[in-house]
Amino acid sequence: MVDKLNHDGSIIAVEHVNFFYGTFKALTDIHMLFKKNAVTALIGPSGCGKSTLLRLLNRMNDLIDGTRVEGRVYFEGLNMYDPNIDPVEIRKKIGMVFQKPNPFPKSIYNNIVYGPKLTGMNNKNDLNALVEKTLKQSVLWDEVKDILDQSALRLSGGQQQRLCIARALAMNPDVLLMDEPTSALDPISTAKIEELIDELKTDYTIIIVTHNMQQAARVSDETGFFYLGKLIEYNETKKIFTKPDLKQTEDYITGRFG
Amino acid sequence: MKWRYFKQHLFFWIVKASIALIALSLGGLLVYIFVHGFSALSWDFLTEPPRDAMTKGGIMPAILGTFYLMTGAIIVALPLGVMSAVYLSEYSKQNRILRTIRIGINCLAGVPSVVFGLFGLGLFVVYLKFGSSILSGSLTLGILILPTIIGASEEALKSVPQTFREASLALGVSKWQTIYRIVLPNALPGILTGSILGLGRAAGETAPIMFTAAAFFTAKLPTSIFDEVMALPYHIYVLATAGTRIEETRPIQYGTALVLIALVLGIDLIAILFRSYMRRRKSW
Amino acid sequence: MTRTTKEKIIKAVFFVIAATSVIILGMIVISLFREAVPIFRVASIKDFIFGNEWYPTYDPPSFGIWPLIVGSLIVTLCSTVIAVPIGVLSAIYISELANPFLKEILKPIIELLAGLPSVVLGFFGMVVLAPWLQETFDLPTGLNIVNASLMLSLMAIPTISSISEDALYAVPQEFKEASYALGATKYETIVRVIVPAALSGISTAVILGMARAIGETMVVLMVAGGAAAIPDSLFDSVRPMPASIAAEMGETPFGSNHYHALFGIAVVLFFLTLAFNLVADYIANKYKQTGSATL
């Protein structure tokens, strides 16, 4: 296979990736480009491999015993699965927001400065400014500016998730991976997060896994549809949701299966 | 139908009797020792050395010796135990090496205490020439409680939610920093509980220190870790079994037993209360 | 130094530390054997283990530890007979019948019992149980198999109870619900469904309880009576292996045949408990409970 992808305008390129949990093949020959400063949605029924792919993009799957990756994943032209690449460096540039909000059992302030402090940022003023900046970016500042020393676990679920976004932004990543970020939240919090995603895409590349068809249609520019570990169709969101190329995609989107 | 419920009643009755039996034996034993030991207790008993060939005076050197030994044991076991647990819980993969280590720890936990005593005698006292001393005794007791500390620490580490690790690693924080900054601090209460329980165990053991540290009587208090010490459990044993004045020293035996029980069960109780307090406070 | 090298070094250090337990276990075996081997130049392995006469200080001495082995086995067996029903039933009570409040109280009680120093149990057996047994049954001594077994069972009960309770607790709720849905009573559910499902865990508990009893020193040293002879009745005195080691080690000259023989006993004792532990480990792994609880 020589069809090397043309990387122009893209930030991440996945080339012929197969992924195994033990002997189970979770992803088959995935081949796709992620556009810079765009929101890409990954959709598909449970177990289709979309979350697996997402976790592959910042090497979080390394943490699971007995997994194996074939193929290449380029981030800004570098193969992140090259043996010389330190996954820690990759994860600094590619942040992640999880399905369930997972703040540390620390204060709001310390949640945000945790990462930056460990990477050598120690100036108190810089840290304060960073906390303010990221909390404003994640539209949480007004709600928490007076309680920064309070435990993050006392925030509501929606607030916690926005804090986790702020925490990821504090590392100044290029890409933000979001694994069903609103699935544990109420509708109002969900709306807030969706608004936030729309604002963030001017500065960041966002890749979001979602179960929610409307959400994918609302927030994303590109959409990839996965089924049984394969990328079935990958197109502009508008096209996928109006006239998809494949019958299978249409069936899924219109709710005939999945 | 009646028969079925009769059987059930009978069974529940037997089950309740068995638990009552346990509670009664523990309670009866404690009350008995308390009643008989209480009259021997006095400020002098706790602060004076023995006098008149052990038939009079106090048990201060034994209290002090036990304190030294359990402190020494925890100094030996805590770092080794916590670090072993970190490896098992955070680094190791499911493979044969891990399995071997696990079996090793389980078997170490099952080694009879008198065998630890002989091992300590052979290795620390004789071979390494530490003599019968605080050092030999602490090392022996430390090895004895090592599996307890490992087990408790591992459980504590495992109870830290995986999501905390993921959150930290996803920020581009290295594995070691994640362990050091997130996992260990959150596992600390559990590790502490396990260590306190290990401390109690070390305080109450007799056989491991018989040949490695404990002395029947020392004229002076220990001045270095190479000195022999008196210890509460050994003191009870020798007074109750050796010599011609067993009946005469009975009050001292009861008193010493009471002090030892109070010390060991007090330590255990602190650990249990601390654990339930932390559980209630835990927010995740 | 790059971060990846640093991380690798950290991991290696932790590995070495984690391996200490195995290394110590190896050192225990080696040091026991090193001191035990000389006795087999005096007595053959067969005479040592199956010899009926333990007269290590006579002239000529005789190093047969069979009475000690029998002593160990008999007190272990008797204490197991007492401790297993009480331990398992108490576990059933705590896991299946007690309300949360009682559970909060009973579990610590079991833990405290486990924490009782063995020397205190031995002492209690000596000063309370022994005189009572002697008087009630009109015996020459109250320091005998019955006394030792009773006190040992107090040591084995917490082990059996807490491990059994874990096993019972791990039985999936679905099993219980399925049984109730079929119209079974609570008793039938416990006896027919829950206990069988937890059987491997309970077996592990029993074996570990026995291992605890066979290796326990202070109790048998203080209350078993110390007679190195094969007993005829449960009211006879015995001299279990740990008691023999603990009692004689202090009085035997370093490096003598007697000294080596005591290490020989320790080797036998070590491998006996090792066997118990390996069997427990094997059962626990082989019959890992399945069902949704493990998913």
pLDDT, tens digit, 9 for 90 and up, residues B228-282: 999 999 999 999 987 777 888 888 999 999 999 999 999 999 999 999 898 888 7
Query: Which region among A167-176, B48-57, C8-17, C103-112 has the lowest average model confidence (pLDDT)?
Result: B48-57
Residue-wise pLDDT for C113-127, tens only, equals: 999 999 999 999 999
Task: Give the pLDDT confidence of A84-111 residue by residue, as tens digits.
Answer: 888 899 999 999 999 999 999 999 999 9
Residue B66 and residue B74: Cα distance in Å, rounded?
12
pLDDT band per the 50, 70, 90 thresholds, residue A233? very high
Range C100-139 burial, b when 16+ CB lie within 10 A, else e: eeeeeebbbbbbbbbbbbbbbbbbbbbbbbbeebbeeeeb
Question: Does C294 have pLDDT greater than 50?
Answer: no
> Residues with Cβ < 8 Å from A100, sequence gap 6 or more?
A184, B163
* CA pair distance A195, A140, nearest whole angstrom: 13
- Please give the Cα distance from A79 to A61 (Å, whole number): 16
- Residue C138: HSE in the Cβ half-sphere, 13 Å Cα cutoff: 0
Burial of residue A187 (number of CB atoms within 10 Å: 0-12, 13-18, 19+): exposed
Does residue A27 carry a pLDDT above 90? yes
Q: How far apart are CA C131 and CA C125, in angstroms?
A: 9
Distance between B280 CA and the closest CA of chain C, angstroms: 12
Cβ separation of C2 and A86 shorter than 8 Å? yes
- d(CA C14, CA C6) in angstroms, rounded, equals 12
Q: 10 Å Cβ neighbour count for A142?
A: 9
* pLDDT at residue B124 tops 90: yes
Average pLDDT score over chain A:
91
- Cα–Cα dist B123/C31, whole Å: 7
Smallest CA–CA distance, residue C215 to chain B, in Å, is: 4
Residues of A in contact with B175 (CB under 8 A): 88
| Burial annotation B192-219 (CB, 10 A radius, 16+ → b, else e) | bbbbbbbbbbbbbbbbbbbbbbbbeebe
Please list every residue in chain C whose beta carbon sits closer than 8 Å to the beta carbon of residue A86.
2-4
Residues 244-283 of B with CB under 8 A from C: 250, 253, 257, 260-261, 264-265, 268-269, 272, 276
Question: According to the model, what pLDDT value does residue C291 have?
Answer: 45
pLDDT of residue C281: 87
Question: pLDDT tier at A62 (50, 70, 90 boundaries)?
Answer: confident
Count of pairs with CB atoms under 8 A, one residue in A, one in C:
4
Which is nearest to C250 in space by CA: B93, B212, A68? B212
Measure A221 CA to nearest chain B CA, in Å.
25
Fold of the domain spanning A10-99+174-253 = Rossmann fold (3.40.50)
A-contacting residues in B 79-118 (Cβ below 8 Å): 93-94
Closest to C171 in 3D by CA, of C138, C136, C147, C195: C195
The class level of CATH for B43-281 reads: mainly alpha
Over residues B151-175, the mean pLDDT reads: 94
Band (pLDDT 50/70/90 cuts) for residue A257 is low
Q: Is B171 in Cβ contact with A167 (below 8 Å)?
A: yes
Determine the distance from the C-alpha atom of residue B275 to the mean position of all C-alpha atoms in its chain, rounded to a whole number. Answer: 16
Residues of A with CB under 8 A from a CB of C: 86, 88
Residues B78-117: pLDDT tens digits? Answer: 999 999 999 999 998 878 889 899 999 999 999 999 999 9
Instruction: Tell me which chains share at least 3 CB pairs under 8 Å with chain A.
Output: B, C
Q: C3 contacts in A (CB within 8 Å)?
A: 86, 88
- Angle at which helix B96-110 crosses helix B134-158, to 10 degrees, equals 130
Residues of B in contact with A100 (CB under 8 A): 163
pLDDT in tens, C85-112: 999 999 999 999 999 999 989 999 999 9
Cα distances from B284 to residues A104, A163, B158, C203, in angstroms, run: 9, 17, 13, 34
| E strand intervals along C219-292 | none
Q: How confident is the model at residue A254 (pLDDT cuts 50, 70, 90)?
A: confident
CATH of domain C37-294: 1.10.3720.10
Average pLDDT, chain B: 91
The ipTM assigned to this model is 0.91
Is the Cβ of C5 closer than 8 Å to some Cβ of chain A? no
Determine how many CB atoms are found less than 10 A away from the CB of residue A22: 11
A253 contact partners, CB below 8 Å, separation of at least 6: A213, A225, A240, A241, A244
Long-range contacts of the stretch B250-255 (C-beta < 8 A, 24+): B250/C127, B251/B36, B251/B39, B251/B40, B252/B40, B252/B50, B252/B54, B252/B55, B252/B59, B253/C123, B253/C127, B254/B33, B254/B36, B254/B37, B254/B40, B255/B37, B255/B40, B255/B41, B255/B45, B255/B59
> Which pair of tokens denotes residue A168?
């990821």
Residue A1 pLDDT level (bands cut at 50, 70, 90): very low
Cα C209 from chain centre: 5
Residue range A182-191: mean pLDDT, rounded: 90
- Cα–Cα distance for residue pair B114/B112, rounded to 1 Å: 5
Give pTM, 2 decimals. 0.89
Q: What sign does the CA torsion over C175, C176, C182, C185 have?
A: positive
Residues of C in contact with B121 (CB under 8 A): 249
Question: CA B58 to CA C204: how far, in whole Å?
Answer: 44
Q: pLDDT value at position B94?
A: 79
Which one, of A65, B198, B77, B110, lies nearest residue C284 by Cα? B110
Structure tokens at A202: 């001017």
Question: Which single residue is written with the structure tokens 């030294």?
Answer: B68
Kind of pairing between the strands at A175-179 and A94-97: parallel
Neighbours of chain B (3+ CB pairs under 8 A): A, C
Residue C20 has pLDDT above 90, yes or no: yes
Residues A252, A227 contacting (CB under 8 angstroms): yes
Show me where the domains of chain B are located.
43-281
Q: What is the pLDDT of residue A6?
A: 61
Q: Which residue of A has its CA nearest to C5?
A: A86
For chain C, domain boundaries: 37-294
Report residue A252 CA to chain centroid gap: 22
Residue type, B56: K
C112 and B91 within 8 Å at the Cβ level: the answer is no
Residue B159 has pLDDT above 80, yes or no: yes
Alpha-carbon span B176 to B180, nearest angstrom:
6
Helical segments of A21-75, H only: 50-56
pLDDT bin (cut points 50, 70, 90) of residue C295 is very low
The Cα–Cα gap between A49 and A57 comes to 13
Which one has a higher pLDDT value, C76 or B1? C76
pLDDT in tens, C239-251: 999 999 999 998 8
**What integer is the mean pLDDT of A23-49?**
92
> Hey, which residues does A20 pair with through a beta bridge?
A25, A68
Q: Which tokens in the block code for residue A43? A: 């959709």
CA-to-CA distance for A51 and B19, rounded, in angstroms? 50
Query: Quick check: C4 contacting A, CB < 8 Å?
Result: yes
- Angle between helix B250-281 and helix B60-86 axes, rounded to 10 deg: 30
Give the containing element (helix H, strand E) for A24: strand A24-35
Strands A39-43 and A222-227: parallel
Q: How many Cβ atoms are within 10 Å of B94's Cβ, its own excluded?
A: 9
| Any A CB within 8 A of C2 CB | yes
Burial of C28 (0-12, 13-18, 19+ CB in 10 A): buried
Pairing of β B56-57 and β A39-43: unpaired
**Beta strand pairing status for A205-209 and A24-35?**
unpaired
pLDDT of residue B214: 87
- Do the beta carbons of residue B144 and residue B113 sit within 8 Å? yes
Peptide bond into C131 cis (omega under 30): no
B28 lies within 8 A of chain A by CB: no
- Per the CB < 8 Å rule, is B115 touching C270? yes
The count of residues in chain A is 258
pLDDT (mean) for A5-34: 88
Which pLDDT score, from 0 to 100, does residue B221 have?
87
Say whether B164 and A58 touch across the interface (CB within 8 A).
Answer: no
CB burial of C34-71 (b: ≥16 within 10 Å; e: otherwise) equals ebbebbeeebeeebbbebebbebeeeebebbbbbbbbb
Q: C interface mutation test: which of B111, B201, B235, B264 has the most C CBs within 10 A?
A: B111
> Which one has a higher pLDDT value, A37 or A6?
A37
The whole-angstrom separation of Cα C219 and Cα C216 is 7
Q: How many angstroms separate the CA atoms of B52 and B46, rounded?
A: 17
Q: Which chains touch C (3 or more CB pairs under 8 A)?
A: A, B
* Strand duo A222-227 + A230-236: pairing: antiparallel
